[in-house]
Every structure is written in C-alpha cells, then in structure tokens.
Amino acid sequence: MRFNLLDYPADLIRLFYPRICGGCETALVKGEQHLCLHCRMELPFTTFDNIKDNPVERIFYGRVMLEFATSLLFFSKGTKVQHILHNIKYNERKELAIFLGHILAQRLQQNPYLKDVSVIIPVPLHPQKLHIRGYNQSALFAEGMQEVWNIPIQTNNLIRIAETVSQTKKSKIERWENVEQAFVLKNPAALKDKHILLLDDVLTTGATLEACASTILQATSCKVSVATIAFAMQ
C-alpha cells in the first residue's frame, strides 16, 4: 500500500517527502514526475484536441471570432483536477504547471488549426495580484508549451489594467461586465498578422478570454485561438 499523506500539513509533507503527487499527495516513486501513475491514468481528457465545433469553441460563438478553441481536461469541484489546479495556484507547485503545459502542447502538436501559431499569450494577472502571488500560473503553462513548440511567449503586451473581483459567484452577464474593460494591448504592431494562442487555467463562461481576444482583435489585424488547461461544463 502506498503511503497517503493527505492528512498531514502541506509544509510538513514537503519537508520530509518533497516529491509528492500533485493530485493525491502520495509520495512519488521512482520514475514518476509531478503526478503519480494512478492520477495520470485518471486525468479526464476532453479529447477536443483536433476537433472543430467542439463544446469549448461553442462557448464563444456569436461573441468573438476565434480560429480554434480547446481545453485539455474536464473540471468539476471536488475532483483531482481541482486539487491539481489548487496546488499550482496556491501551493507554488510551479513545476506541475509546466508539466501540464508540456502535456497540452504535445496533444495539440498535430492540430491543423494551430500549425501557424506564432506567439503564446498567457492571460495576465493584475500587477497587484501578481505581486501578492509571486507568479502567474497561466504563464507557467505557457513555459511548458514553449518547451515543446519552441515559439515565443509574450507577457508584457496584453496588460490587465483593472483589478477585478472574483468571478466565482457571478452570473454570465456579471462576469462579462467584470472584465469588459479590464485589458489593454500596449503594442498592437507586435501582433500584426500573427496567430496568437491565448492560454488560461480554467474556462467557465469564457468572459475573461473573450475580453482578452476582443481587446487584441480590436487593436490589430491578427488571428486568435484559445486553449485552457481545464473546462468547467455549465
């Protein structure tokens, strides 16, 4: 039986067992990285990788013109996917974020709709939130994708200028109003005629990604696609 560390404080776990699974908190064995074999086998992949008109794309129909949209995993509360993303966002499991970025890039490597993507833009945090947290998890996913795709990341062009409140308990309309004027593109010329992949952690209503894509498309001539690590079906 594997030693389960779920009942122990996270700091104590990392002191004595620094290599633990980001999904179930069990100690990793030789050959396992970031997630144990059991958690990796249970990852709920969407399989939308190369499928047009998938449920993620449909979220944006009639709202913003995208070339393609997809998510890696299905998300629901109380699952390992939520635990993994919580570990990344709040427990500084940065290497786990990069690992998920690798997986996403590998699954999309043969996607015909993304073959000309020339820049990855992670959805930005407000500078104050970035200062408090110390890192942007979406930028870490982008680092993982870059290691596979070998294309540049831009983190200083699309800027979040409004510190929005949590979207968690808001309706679809309230979510859009919360982020409608939250972003600005500092240097539109740097994206002219490029194909941009916007990258975020979880897609729910799509309001934040819609606001980002609209900001870019209104400022310059380019193409925009969207990818997220997880998709919370409504």
Asked if 105 and 28 sit in the same domain, the reply is: no
At 119 the three-state DSSP class reads strand
pLDDT of amino acid 176: 45
Strand residue runs (E) in the chain? 69-74, 119-122, 158-160, 183-185, 195-203, 223-231
pLDDT of amino acid 164: 60
Asked if 3 and 18 sit in the same domain, the reply is: yes
Strand order in the sheet with 195-203: 69-74, 223-231, 195-203, 119-122
Asked if 71 and 47 sit in the same domain, the reply is: yes
Q: pLDDT category, 167, cuts 50, 70, 90?
A: very low
| Among candidate residues 34, 10, 30, 32, the one with its CA nearest the CA of residue 22 | 34
- pLDDT of residue 177 exceeding 80, the answer is no
Helix (H) or strand (E) run with residue 201 in it: strand 195-203
| Among candidate residues 189, 82, 85, the one with its CA nearest the CA of residue 141 | 85
Mean pLDDT of the chain: 89
Asked if 152 and 61 sit in the same domain, the reply is: yes
Beta carbons within 8 Å of 8's beta carbon, 6+ residues apart: none
Asked if 152 and 177 sit in the same domain, the reply is: yes
Give how many domains the chain has, as a whole number: 2
pLDDT of amino acid 82: 96
CATH number of the domain within which 78 lies = 3.40.50.2020
Least confident of 20-29, 173-182, 204-213: 173-182
Asked if 96 and 31 sit in the same domain, the reply is: no
Least confident of 39-48, 77-86, 155-164: 155-164
- pLDDT of residue 8 exceeding 70, the answer is no
The answer to whether 72 and 217 are in contact (CB under 8 A) is no
| Among candidate residues 93, 138, 96, the one with its CA nearest the CA of residue 120 | 138
- pLDDT of residue 213 exceeding 90, the answer is yes
Say how many residues make up the chain: 234
Structure tokens at 6: 């779920």
Asked if 131 and 177 sit in the same domain, the reply is: yes
Asked if 7 and 122 sit in the same domain, the reply is: no
Helix (H) or strand (E) run with residue 197 in it: strand 195-203
Asked if 29 and 96 sit in the same domain, the reply is: no
Q: What average pLDDT does range 42-66 have in this prediction? A: 97
pLDDT of amino acid 162: 78
Per-residue pLDDT reduced to its tens digit, 107-150: 999 999 999 999 999 999 999 989 899 999 999 999 999 999 99
Asked if 121 and 143 sit in the same domain, the reply is: yes
Asked if 102 and 73 sit in the same domain, the reply is: yes
- Residue 169's Cβ-side half-sphere holds a number of Cα atoms within 13 Å equal to 1
Structure tokens at 126: 């407000």
Asked if 156 and 107 sit in the same domain, the reply is: yes
Q: Which domain holds residue 105?
A: 43-231
The answer to whether 206 and 60 are in contact (CB under 8 A) is yes
C-alpha angle 154-125-11 in degrees, rounded to nearest 5: 110
Q: pLDDT category, 178, cuts 50, 70, 90?
A: low
pTM: 0.86
pLDDT of amino acid 233: 80
Report the alpha-carbon distance of residue 79 to residue 33 in Å, rounded.
20
